[in-house]
Chain A
């Protein structure tokens, strides 16, 4: 069975601090996809990144970066120089390569960035 764990329920940081959100996953599949979504207070889920299980290259997009480590089954998300607008709930998700019923979300991490 697939499972996604986000051990950090809530994190608070002060603006401009760096923060890392942890994501650990479990799957028996050799091909799978990992995602991060952001859910601001408005409630809509915003796609941030998708990573193929065969691509372990880290990715940077502006202040966001992702560290994919297959050896530890982790896909951590770092925000550098955090801003108040980064305050949201962040969800990590896992999908197998088959037809989508095995799309599993983690419980989410609520990030509060204080001014």
Chain B
């Protein structure tokens, strides 16, 4: 059973606000990911990390930033939220072992008004 958590699950916020989406995993996985997904649509990788102090941008350009100070924690920050940031954000982690299977958190549904 995967143990990866995201908070908040739902967030409605006004334009211009700074927000941080939290993601934590208790599996000791080195690799973590952030995906952006409009409901029922493709997942787009926006950030990933190979381990502590490692962060990389994904395939989809994003105005968000991430940090990886601890193995278990991979928060995503939007300095100034805009309506175009309205989406679902999914966090995942994987063990760089044999299969690299990704375990997903429940997601954060963000609405920027």
Q: Please report A residues at the B interface, Cβ cutoff 8 Å.
A: 33, 35, 37, 39, 42-47, 50, 52, 89, 91, 93, 95, 97, 99-101, 103, 105-108, 110
CB closest residue in chain A, given B109:
A43
Q: Tally chain B residues at the interface, Cβ within 8 Å.
A: 28
Q: How many angstroms from the CA of A47 to the CA of B99 in the assembled complex?
A: 13
Q: How many angstroms from the CA of A46 to the CA of B109 in the assembled complex?
A: 17
List chain A residues, Cβ under 8 A from B42: 105-108
Contact B43 A91 (CB under 8 A): yes
Closest 10 CB pairs of A and B: A45-B104, A105-B43, A107-B42, A44-B106, A43-B107, A100-B31, A89-B40, A95-B100, A100-B100, A50-B101
Query: Shortest Cβ distance from A4 into chain B, in angstroms?
Result: 10
List chain B residues, Cβ under 8 A from A95: 100
Interface centre among B2, B102, B104 (most CB of A within 10 A): B102
List chain B residues, Cβ under 8 A from A105: 42-43
List chain B residues, Cβ under 8 A from A33: 99-101
**Partner among A44, A93, A110 whose Cβ is within 8 Å of the Cβ of B40:** A110
Cβ of B12 within 8 Å of any chain A Cβ, yes or no, is: no
Contact A99 B31 (CB under 8 A): yes
A-B pairs with beta carbons under 8 Å apart, 13 shown: A33-B99, A35-B101, A43-B88, A44-B105, A52-B99, A99-B100, A100-B33, A100-B50, A101-B48, A103-B94, A103-B102, A108-B41, A110-B40
